[in-house]
Structure 1
Amino acid sequence: MSETPENSPPDTEKSTSTSFDTSDETQIDERDRLNRDAIALPSHVAGSGTLDRLIENARDYAKASTAENTNKAYAADWKHFARWCRLKGTDPLPPSPEMIGLYLTDLAVPTGPSPALSVSTIDRRLSGLAWNYAQRGISLDRKDRHISAVLAGIKRKHARPPAQKEAILPEDILAMVATLGFDLRGLRDRAILLLGYAGGLRRSEIVSLDVGKDDTLDSGGWIEILDDGAILTLNAKTGWREVEIGRGSSEQTCPVHALEQWLHFAKINFGPIFVRTSRDGKRALEARLSDKHVARLIKTTVLKSGIRAELPEKDRLALFSGHSLRAGLASSAEVDERYVQKQLGHASAEMTRRYQRRRDRFRVNLTKAAGL
């Protein structure tokens, strides 16, 4: 039986994967209501048992059309905008381009105590509003001058190069895994770090893996372990793709060996690969880990390993995130760039270069090639 917030035993490891705060519950209720309103029978068609089942399945597919984190973000965007409208004495429905333009302005240059948001966050907020209006059958004209002109001005005046998280380099990842124990939890977390690093995986891709194909409904892929390495089949942001992870030069640093050790001692041969453990770290449970566990694991092991110890703890924590694993592979793999691009699942080499924190930028010298 899978663990739930209500029936979880007291000795289980804490995880956000099966618990939500009041805000999350409100957002989930809002998404469910939108799904029910958006996917329904036409008014002139009488319901039946068969049609009702089809409606429920269609709502499930509609919910799965966007990632869970995106759904949560869009729900939070609407909640924030609706509250802003109430404070200004207006209503979010129907959409008013004039008020949305003022809302964007207030996000960029707040009139209250709230900090100014980045241009990318403001752009995301607008996308969230457009999505929420669309779910209500209303079209938001983002090209209206009250919206488009204001947003263009915000981008022109406030846009900055994106802040990049620091890459985890080879010596860093070795120091990080060295801080882990050899109980079940340590074996699991070691496999997470090494697999995520060698595969250049997103944290959501790591925790969504199953042992085999079609093991669970919420699976984001599965893994096949071979003599020379492991093949991961992932349902990623850009569609299905395969990631090959070869065996390392030693068992201590090999991601495939770490994965085998975890699966063996956790006695996992079906379903989610990375699951919670009992509080004492001696027993694997059924509940899949949240992707937030990967972010917390990276920050915790960075602190314990002493990486960038010359900085205050707050600054060290701000430097690293789940993307640090992908950036680490892109920055450290001394191979042709196209192989790194394939491993990360990028559509363009330019995107891969954004992840490369150290590379020979002048390996191709166009100045000399042009005769200067």
Structure 2
Amino acid sequence: MTTTEAQMPPKTNLVVPSSPLHAPAGRAKTIAELAAYSKSLSLADLSQVLEEGTNAAKAEKTLATYASAWKGFLEFCARRGFRPLPASGEAVSYYIAERAFAGLKHNTLNLDRAAIRHFHVQAGHVDPTKAREVQDFLKGHQRLQASNRIGVAKKEPLLTDDIRRLCSILDNDDSLQAIRDKALILFTYAGALRVSEAVARRIGDVPITSRGIAVYLATSKGDQTGKGQYAGILRGANPETCPVLALATWLEAMKKQGITDKDRPLFPRMRDFSDRGLGVRIRDQPIGTNWAREILKAACKKAKIPDENISFHSLRRGHIEQAMANDASIKEALAQGRWKNPETLMEYWSRRAALDLSSSCHLGL
């Protein structure tokens, strides 16, 4: 049986719209007015409210990822003759087996499973991914992948010596791009920030004080409900590598370009119009994560730092490894990384800990 429109899941809004239900005409000013307005809603209106709340339970990026994974499952079912909705445990297990044979990692298979589960639950169907054959295959695949894994390459950390080399290279260039790039690298390294957190910052997120910066993160990977978190960045002892001074220098450079609005991107894109005699123009769009990675890789090449296994995550990993090597406490590292589980911290520190905590030095060799 091939895919038909009837088998497609109900449409799910990937972006929760600003509902008119939340802003009645004249804007209710009291709880009583709002309560009276809510009682006048039809079941169709309440259904919209319910759908918006349900969609908001998962991050927009997660829903977009699920939609992409679901599209792959629909294509598989059409090609193999399975019904996609509701799907059988057999169909799901064959799909995951096909994906595993193609060499996809276990985390990707788990994402496929989560997407299939999501669209079945949304449509009111039984979750086929709970079938024994699906569960058993995924457990077995995880063990096989672990036993066959040889030297899985994690991103290499960039440590403080590397950061000094990068800053030295960028200091030799007085362009706006170099000033921005140095501020971006030091800001991310000192804050142990994820690249998505760094590039999303606005000027108003980084008030500079005598001690440093308490960077406000409205949402992040570990705080998708939007409670808000802070990442502290203290002033450095060396002017050449002080993250606060580098950021202040960049903010002053933007100010000279007439950019002071707190809602403007902290690390904006630029466009070079030198060939027209107009110089470099700062744009109103933030640099993206891919652009940030290219900025770091370009700086590494200039500093002659091997960049084959370097990404922006190398800054976050490097912060934790360097700080722990310099006697930072577990409490400090957990707070900086904004982790709740110490096991997550150990994933970052395990390689350094293997040397720092080795008893082989007591063997008299």
TM range (shorter): 0.7 to 0.9
1:287-333 deviation per Cα after TM superposition (whole angstroms, max 9, x unaligned): 2222222222222322332213xxxxxxx43x112211111001111
Question: Aligned pair in 2 of structure 1 residues 322, 362: CA closer, same or farther (>3 Å)?
Answer: closer
CA radius of gyration, larger in = 2
Match of 1:16 in 2: none
Aligned to 1:298: 296
1:262 equivalent in alignment to 2:250: yes
Q: 1:226 aligns with which of 209, 218, 221?
A: 209
Partners of 1:137 and 1:299 in 2: how far apart?
Answer: 47
Between the two proteins, what is the percent identity of the paired residues? 28
Aligned to 2:12: 34
1:331 maps to a residue whose letter is: E
Q: Quote the offset at 1:55 in angstroms.
A: 4.4
The CA distance in 2 between the partners of 1:38 and 1:102, in whole Å, is 34
Residue 77 of structure 1: how far off its partner (Å): 0.9
Per the alignment, in what secondary structure is the counterpart of residue 359 of structure 1?
Answer: helix
Deviation at 1:68, TM superposition (A): 4.2
Residues of 2 paired with 1:338 and 1:36: CA distance?
A: 37
Indicate whether 1:203 and 2:195 are aligned.
Answer: yes
Secondary structure at the aligned position of 2:352 is classed as: coil
Moved more, 349-358 or 255-264: 349-358
Q: Which has the larger helix fraction?
A: 2
> For residue 345 of structure 2, what is the aligned residue in structure 1?
352
2:15 and 2:271 mapped to 1: Cα distance? 41
What's the CA shift for 1:154?
1.1
Match 1:83 to one of 72, 75, 78: 75
Amino acid at match of 1:349: P
Equivalent pairs counted in the alignment come to: 311
CA distance in 2, matches of 1:127, 1:243: 31
Amino acid at match of 1:98: E
Q: How does 1:262-341 map to 2 (within 5 A)?
A: 262-266=250-254, 267-271=259-263, 272-280=265-273, 282-308=280-306, 316-317=307-308, 319-333=309-323, 334=326, 335-341=328-334
* Structure 2 unaligned blocks of 5 or more: 1-7, 22-40, 274-278
Higher RCO (Cα < 8 Å, 6 or more apart) = 1
Q: Which amino acid is 2:12 matched to?
A: L
Q: Check whether the contact 2:16–2:56 (CA below 8 A) recurs between aligned residues.
A: no
- Rounded to whole Å, the distance in 1 between the matches of 2:281 and 2:43 is 48
Go from structure 1 to structure 2 and tell me whether the alpha carbon gap of 1:34 and 1:296 turns closer, same or farther (over 3 Å shift).
same
What TM-score does the superposition give when structure 1 sets the normalisation length?
0.73
Which of these residues, 55, 65, 70, is aligned with residue 62 of structure 2?
70
- How far is the alpha carbon of 1:341 from its aligned partner? 1.7
Cα displacement (A) at 1:47? 8.3
Q: Deviations over 1:32-75 (max 9, x none)?
A: 9412899999xxx7489xx59x948974x665543444333222
What RMSD over aligned residues (CA atoms) do the two structures have, in Å?
3.4
Question: Per the alignment, do residues 305 and 38 of structure 1 end up closer, same or farther by CA in structure 2, a change over 3 Å counting?
Answer: closer
Distance 2:312 2:342 in 1: 21
TM-score (norm 2): 0.74
- Deviation of the 1:278 alpha carbon: 2.2
